[in-house]
Structure 1
Amino acid sequence: MKSWEYIIQTRKEHIDFINKIVEAYDGLGNVRTLDNNEGLIKIITNSYFVEDMDKAIERLRKKDIHIEILEKREWLGIL
């Protein structure tokens, strides 16, 4: 099964909330902070959950959580 990663730009104050939401969906994905000051994060998931991750991101956007997907790609193997 392939893994996928989302490189996301958000607001610094939204990082923890996004992390908690992704963690609340058991097994949906793992959030890694790439640059706290710039609000740059990575979410890693597997191909089974890609559609669910897309839906979760859309739900967060509807709740006024700023999420800009900079890149969605097959996981490069770097945490």
Structure 2
Amino acid sequence: MKNAEKQIKSWEYIIQTKKEYIDFINKIIEAYDGLGNVRTIDNQNGLIKILTNSCLLDDMDNAIETLHKKNIEIEVLERREWLGVL
């Protein structure tokens, strides 16, 4: 493999949820040791960002899908390489 292919990159998920779910989602993501960090973009409108790395994208997708299956309103608006803004 080339060095560029092995490089771990930071990724971000822009998530829409309900205001009342932000703290719960944060605690769940934190409970998966090292899976990601949750940042609130707009508390009133339930807009959050989850930061993770390229090695954990499948795990993050599974965590989000599990939350969705547990009737937590969570919608991924964007999944992209991190733009460098916390």
**What TM-score comes out, normalization by structure 1 length?**
0.99
Query: What is the number of equivalent residue pairs in this alignment?
Result: 79
Which residue does 2:76 correspond to in 1?
Answer: 69
The whole-number CA distance in structure 2 between the counterparts of 1:58 and 1:69 is 10
**What TM-score comes out, normalization by structure 2 length?**
0.91
Instruction: Please state if 1:20 is matched with 2:63.
Output: no
Instruction: Please state if 1:40 is matched with 2:71.
Output: no
Which residue does 1:3 correspond to in 2?
Answer: 10
Q: Percent identity?
A: 75
The whole-number CA distance in structure 1 between the counterparts of 2:29 and 2:75 is 16
Q: Which contiguous aligned blocks of 4+ residues in structure 1 show a shift greater than 6 angstroms?
A: none
Cα deviations by residue, 1:43-70 (Å, 9 ceiling, x for unpaired): 0000010000000000000100001111
SS at match of 1:38: coil
> 1:15 Cα deviation (Å)?
0.2
State which structure, 1 or 2, has the greater radius of gyration over its C-alpha atoms: 2
SS at match of 1:45: strand
SS at match of 1:76: coil
